[in-house]
Structure 1
Amino acid sequence: MPTARIPYDALPPAALAAIEATTGPVLSFDSPAEGFNSAVAAKVHTATATYFVKALPSDHRWVWTQQREADIAPYVRPVGPALIAHLVTSGWDILIFEALPGRHADYRPGSADLSSVADLIQRIGELPTPPIELRDATQRLAAYVTVENDLQHFAGTTLLHTDWNSSNVIVGADTRIVDWGWATRGAPWLDAGYWTIWLIAAGHTPASAERHGARIPAWQAATAEGLEAFAAANARLWSATAGEQADPWTHRIMTAANDWHEFRRAMP
């Protein structure tokens, strides 16, 4: 579920001072409306540069994602932002990144961004899997399969981002992606599968979303059985995440995941 947001300047004074010891005096800041994984997420502006700051309380159940982002940052520089600093102070875990220039990707049907996002997914799949602790796709999806053998479809060693929320994809002179806290290793086609759900949520039919996914070479490694198993697992995952009183954002993704699952189940 989404993490409650607080303004950047609500951080403890000692934490703000630690940030400024790295960035220099912060003259202004603004917080994007998109994204749900950080208690603090803000662009901070100094006299000479702009940075992106994200933070979680040190005792938050997802604070491990901060360490994962810090660990993986050097290995994903071709497709992600540079990490400037990782600070733990005053009860907060804080990451300071370069602020990527550009705008959030547009996933709607007909968008000119779709080609560059497909290319980005391919570029990520071609990166060496870094020698750090990563989640495993079979581990992440094990609770959402009803046939144990279905997990074999998700196994692999390819580096995956897995969170293809359009707010994580920055389109500028180059297209790059932020928010690597849920980086995973698994089958090479899974990122294309995760993207498919977000495309459906943006207005594509399941058939249209799959056609865009199929532009990514790794998609060809997926079997019909694997795609159905993946769609089914994600439908269960998002239904469990939504619970009985889903917020509009979660309900939209849950509906997209269920629509894809129904489309896959109906295929001969």
Structure 2
Amino acid sequence: MATTRIGLDRLPPAARAAVEQHTGPLLTIEETAEGFNSEIAARVTSTTSTWHIKGLRTDHPRAWTQRREATVAPFLTNLAPALHWRVETAGWDLLGFEALDGHHADYAPDSPDLPEVATLLRRLNETPCPDTELRRAEQRLEHYAAHPDALHYFAGTHLLHTDLNNTNVLVNAHAPQGDQARLVDWAWATRGAAWLDAGYWTIWLIAAGHTPASAEHWAAKIPAWRAAPAEGITAFAAANANIWSDISNADPDPWTTRLATAANAWHAHRKTG
């Protein structure tokens, strides 16, 4: 369920003042529509620089997502926008990120962004998982797996993003090839098997118009996917079909229905393939 978005101008004066200690007086504020986890999301500019600010009240039920992002940010060099500052005051937790240029990744079958996203996921696989508190993939999937004995396929020691929504991938076409894509919104960072992010990507690719076979072709650009057991991939497809069925039933709209349809199509492909 999405968090209600409010404008930066509704921050308590003490919180706004604390932000401006880092930024200087704000000249422009561009509220951001994308994203579900933050009450505050805005691109701001001062005389010195530009930042992307994310914020939640410290008593918000999802306040843990701010802490998670702040915890993992130092380990995400060349994967995500840098976290420059954090403000916790007047009942608010606010994060000031590097403001990235670029567009949301296009996942369509003929998109030139696809190789960049695959390269990004390969880089993520090569990034050491920080020794911090993270949920484990097998924990997150335990209520959705078709069989409890399938959960061991999802366990591992790799850092995962797990939310491969195309709006969470920014592509800067002016950067060097192979280094154009960055992942934003690490609220759901997880520890698990290295191939799982390629699996999450597969569902979003199908939702963007790929056949299941085409989506798996792109997933296979990530070496960890090629090394994954076929039974584990099929179990993961089954679990995600259950997840998206639950989500779309609880919150039926075109967006959730599209993802549920994609997840079911992938699961059907795995069962018959």
> What's the CA shift string for 1:66-109, capped at 9, x where partnerless?
11111111111221111111222222211111111222111111
- Report whether the alignment pairs 1:216 with 2:222: yes
| 1:83-162 to 2 correspondences below 5 Å | 83-162=83-162
What amino acid does structure 1 have at the position aligned with 2:126? E
Pair 147,109 (structure 1): closer, same or farther in 2 beyond 3 Å: same
SS in 2 for 1:29: strand
User: Hey, what does 1:25 align to over in structure 2?
Assistant: 25
- Asked whether the equivalents of residues 146 and 235 of structure 2 are also in contact (C-alpha less than 8 Å), the reply is no
Q: Distance in 1 between matches of 2:92 and 2:6?
A: 13
Q: Distance in 2 between matches of 1:266 and 1:5?
A: 43
- Asked whether the equivalents of residues 120 and 181 of structure 2 are also in contact (C-alpha less than 8 Å), the reply is yes
Aligned-residue offset at 1:177: 1.0
User: Hey, what does 1:72 align to over in structure 2?
Assistant: 72
Pair 41,151 (structure 1): closer, same or farther in 2 beyond 3 Å: same
Q: Distance in 2 between matches of 1:248 and 1:84?
A: 36
> What's the CA shift string for 1:127-146, capped at 9, x where partnerless?
11111111100011011113
Q: Distance in 2 between matches of 1:263 and 1:23?
A: 51
Q: Distance in 2 between matches of 1:259 and 1:34?
A: 26
Q: Distance in 2 between matches of 1:40 and 1:257?
A: 31
> What's the CA shift string for 1:29-59, capped at 9, x where partnerless?
1123222111111101112211000111212
Q: Distance in 1 between matches of 2:251 and 2:126?
A: 39
> What's the CA shift string for 1:3-44, capped at 9, x where partnerless?
121122222222212111111111111123222111111101
Aligned-residue offset at 1:244: 4.3
183, 186, 190: which one aligns with 1:180? 186
SS in 1 for 2:217: helix
Q: Distance in 1 between matches of 2:72 and 2:53?
A: 17
Aligned-residue offset at 1:147: 0.8
Q: Which stretch of structure 1 is more off in the superposition, 136-145 or 13-22?
A: 13-22
User: Hey, what does 1:38 align to over in structure 2?
Assistant: 38
What amino acid does structure 2 have at the position aligned with 1:183? A
- Asked whether the equivalents of residues 23 and 48 of structure 2 are also in contact (C-alpha less than 8 Å), the reply is no
What amino acid does structure 2 have at the position aligned with 1:251? T
What amino acid does structure 2 have at the position aligned with 1:215? K
Identity of aligned residues (%): 58
Q: Distance in 2 between matches of 1:166 and 1:238?
A: 17
What amino acid does structure 2 have at the position aligned with 1:120? L
TM-score scaled by length of structure 1: 0.95
What amino acid does structure 2 have at the position aligned with 1:154? F
Q: Distance in 2 between matches of 1:264 and 1:96?
A: 42
Aligned-residue Cα RMSD (Å) equals 1.3
In structure 1, runs of 5+ residues without a counterpart are none
Q: Distance in 1 between matches of 2:3 and 2:84?
A: 24
User: Segments of 4+ in structure 1 off by > 4 A?
Assistant: none
> What's the CA shift string for 1:117-160, capped at 9, x where partnerless?
00000000001111111110001101111311110110110111
Pair 118,244 (structure 1): closer, same or farther in 2 beyond 3 Å: same
- Report whether the alignment pairs 1:236 with 2:242: yes
In structure 2, runs of 5+ residues without a counterpart are none
Q: Distance in 1 between matches of 2:36 and 2:250?
A: 19
What amino acid does structure 2 have at the position aligned with 1:87? V
TM-score scaled by length of structure 2: 0.94
Pair 138,244 (structure 1): closer, same or farther in 2 beyond 3 Å: closer
